[in-house]
Amino acid sequence: MLPMRALRLQIGAALAADLPLAAIAATNKVRLVIADFTPDEDMVFADITSADFDGSTPLAAALGAQQVGLDPLTGDQIVTMVEPLGGWRWITTGLTNLPQVVYGYALCDEVAAPVLLGLTKLDSPISLTIVGQEIRIGQVQFTISQTPIS
Q: How far apart are CA 114 and CA 48, in angstroms?
A: 11
Tell me whether residue 89 is in a domain. yes
* pLDDT for residue 4: 64
Q: What is the number of domains present in the chain?
A: 1
Tell me whether residue 110 is in a domain. yes
Tell me whether residue 112 is in a domain. yes
Tell me whether residue 59 is in a domain. yes
Tell me whether residue 57 is in a domain. yes
Tell me whether residue 56 is in a domain. yes
Give, in order, the Cα–Cα distances in Å from 96 to each of 29, 63, 92.
Answer: 22, 31, 9
Average pLDDT of the chain, as a whole number: 88
User: Which residues span the domain enclosing 76?
Assistant: 5-144
pLDDT bracket for residue 63 (50, 70, 90): confident
Report the predicted TM-score, pTM, of the whole model to 2 decimal places.
0.86
Tell me whether residue 99 is in a domain. yes
Tell me whether residue 62 is in a domain. yes
